[in-house]
Amino acid sequence: MGGARKTLWMLVAGCALLASLAIPLQAAGIADVCREIGIKEKDAMFSSVLTGRVLEGDSKQIVAVTTFFTGSKDKDNAVNVRLDVFNKRGGKLVPVFSRDYGKEYEGYVGRGDLELVDLDADGINDIIVTFDRQDNPLVEQRLGEVLLLGVSGFEVGWKGVMMLDATRDARSVPLERRDHFRRQMDIPRTLKSRGATLFLNKKVIAVAGERLEKAKVITETFPLRSAMNRR
């Protein structure tokens, strides 16, 4: 009974953190973000604009992930995904931090999404970004990363594949890598570790091109915040 109550408490705590620290922003929307990053609002395909405290201090920041048409005729660079963090001063957005995923991955990115979660319960949200990687038309792949506030600014605490289906590409993907799986972050267990360990539940659907009779769920753990990069 005690274990069940503790698990329930962690779930409630996780939901409370999400609700209180990351809420949709009404004062600044996608139009403001597009204006600041220099794109037309009509070119924005998908957007997540949230407000939450991601820096030290009492003020909340505006965090946005925008997926947009670039205007490039090259299919590899026709769509871009970027992350932007702003402060708001005098009704204007002031850039604090940005990541251009199209530039970092040399194109072939799409459909970005955003979550703000205080994974280590220190009162400051960590940033979770996911986006599609589309460099192979026969492979479905979604990447993700967790950005943490370190001593010198934002640092990538973890990055990896959140979803992969490489079972259709028998030509360019080696047999041993022709897998199909989905990962989901286990927020309550990560909270329980106070952000030291990231817990992921990996649902394996196919291995080496062969679909499993029954999907298998594996719990994976990754070091997230070491003593070296703590503030």
**Cα–Cα dist 191/138, whole Å:** 36
Q: How many CB atoms lie within 10 A of CB 217?
A: 11
Distances from the Cα of 55 to the Cαs of 36, 37, 165, in angstroms?
A: 20, 20, 36
Tens of pLDDT, residues 83-95: 999 999 988 999 9
Identity of the residue numbered 230: R
Q: Provide the 8-state DSSP code for 173.
A: S
User: Are the beta carbons of 54 and 85 closer than 8 angstroms?
Assistant: yes
CA atoms within 13 A on the CB side of 230: 11
CA atoms within 13 A on the CB side of 142: 13
Check residue 133 and give its pLDDT.
97
Distances from the Cα of 120 to the Cαs of 105, 127, 228, in angstroms?
A: 29, 12, 15
Burial of 169 (0-12, 13-18, 19+ CB in 10 A): middle
Q: Which of 172, 105, 170 is nearest to 143 (CA)?
A: 105
Check residue 28 and give its pLDDT.
61
| CA torsion angle 8 14 19 23 (round to 10) | -160
> What strand order describes the sheet that includes 44-52?
23-24, 44-52, 61-69, 79-89, 92-100
**pTM for the full model?**
0.84
Q: Which of 115, 91, 81, 83 is nearest to 28 (CA)?
A: 91
Low-confidence ranges of the chain (pLDDT < 50): 1-2, 4-27, 227-228
**Cα–Cα dist 178/165, whole Å:** 7
**Cα–Cα dist 204/212, whole Å:** 8
